[in-house]
Amino acid sequence: MGVLYSVIRFENLHELKRLCHWGPIIALGVIAICSTMAMIDSVLWYWPLHTTGGSVNFIMLINWTVMILYNYFNAMFVGPGYVPLKWKPEKAQDTTYLQFCKVCQAYKAPRSHHCRKCNRCVMKMDHHCPWINNCCGFQNHASFTLFLLLAPLGCIHAAFIFVMTMYTQLYNRISFGWNTVKIDMSAAKRDPLPIIPFGLSAFAASLFALGLAVGTTIAVGMLFFIQMKVILRNKTSIESWIEEKAKDRIQFYQTAEIFVFPYDMGSRWQNFKQVFTWSGVPEGDGLEWPIREGCHPYSLTIEQLKQKADKRVRSVRYKVIDAYSGACCPLNKGIKTFFTTPCTEEPRISLKKGELILVTRGLRHWMYGDKILDYLATEDGSRIRGWFPRKCVEKFHCDAETDQASEGEKKNR
C-alpha cells in the first residue's frame, strides 16, 4: 500500500493540468514513440517472444518504461516543496539575515528562491524545468535526477533494438559490399517468417525513433552529469551561480573576505545522501540545513543580501526612447534583434516611451531589467521585469548628486 500511495497521491490530482504544456507533451511523446517502437521492432522483426532472450529483452523494455514514467510523474506531481506562506524563523533576530518575499508575505528560508512560474518560494530550488512543467527542488530532486539517468539508459537499449532490427531485416535485401566480413546473422532467419513484413513505413518509423533515442541519450545524459556534479558538492544550479557571483564581487571590490559554501559536507558520499535516501523521502524539513564546521548558519543568505545590494549599485538606468510591444521576436526592431532573441522562458516586457528601466544584465541586442515603478505600484510586491531590445532604450544620465552618491556607496563597500 505504501508503494501504491507513493505512485498515486490524491491530494495532487488537481495538478494534472501540468500535463497541458508543451514540455510534458514533447517529453511524454518521445517516451511513447521510443518505447512503443522498441517493443514492436523487438517482437515482430528482431527477437521473438518465444525465445528466452526475447522474453528477457521485452521485460527489460517494459521495466525501463515503467521506471522512467514513475520518476517523471513523481518529479512532476510531488513537486519541489514550497516555503509555507507567511513563514518566518523562530528567532526574530535571524530575520536580519534573510530576504523578505512580498508575494508570499514570508521570509525566504535558507536555500529557497521565489519562482515566477510557480509564484511561490521553492525550498532548495535548483531550477524551473519546462519538461516537467514544475520546479526541481527539495522534495523531487532525487526523482528528477533518477529520471535523467534512466531515460538515456532506456534510450540506449531502444537504439540497440532499432539498429539491429534494421540491420537484420535489410541484410539479405541490400548488398553493402562487405563480402569479406563474416557475421553470424542467424537471428535474421526467422522461422516462421514475421506475420507483418518489414516494409518502408516500418523502416522509416524505426529510423525516426532511432534519431529520437540518440538525441535524447546525448541531451538528457549531459543534463544528468550536470546535476550529479552539483549534487556531489551539495549545491544546486542556482547556488553554483551565487558562488561564482561571490567570487566576482570579492574580486571587483578587492576585499579580504573569503566565501566558503556552507552546505558542502566535505564528503561526496555525505553530499549524495543529502538528496538520495532509501525511503525516497529527503531528510529534513527543507527549511533548516546542516552546515560544515566553521560556517555561519546564514552565510549563504548573507552573501545573497550583499549581492542584491551590489546589484543595485552596479545596475544602470536606461530611458525608453522607442515603444516596444513585448513580442518575443519583433519584426520592426531590426533583423539582428529578430534573430538573436534570448532562448529562455523569461518574459519580455512592453515599453512605453519615457519609462525608466533599471538594467541588470544584457546581450548584444537585448537587455534585461526592472521597470522603475512608483511607490504605490511596488507596495504589493509586484515587479515588472524581463527582456527588451537594446535599441529601444538609451542610457539615462542622472544628476551629479546621484552619481556622487552611487560612487560613494561603491567605495564604502
Active site residues: 129
CA-based Rg of the chain, rounded to a whole angstrom? 27
Query: Residue 386 phi/psi, 5° resolution?
Result: 165, -165
| Cα torsion angle, 33, 36, 38, 41, sign | negative
* CA pair distance 35, 354, nearest whole angstrom: 55
Residue with cell 556607496: 409
The whole-angstrom separation of Cα 141 and Cα 92 is 30
Torsion 119-271-275-139 (CA) sign = negative
**Positive/negative CA dihedral, 282, 283, 289, 291:** negative
Cβ neighbours for 231, distance < 8 A, ≥ 6 positions apart: 141, 145, 271, 272, 275
Helix, strand, or coil (residue 366): strand
Exposure string over 81-90, b if 16+ CB within 10 A, otherwise e: bbbeeebebe
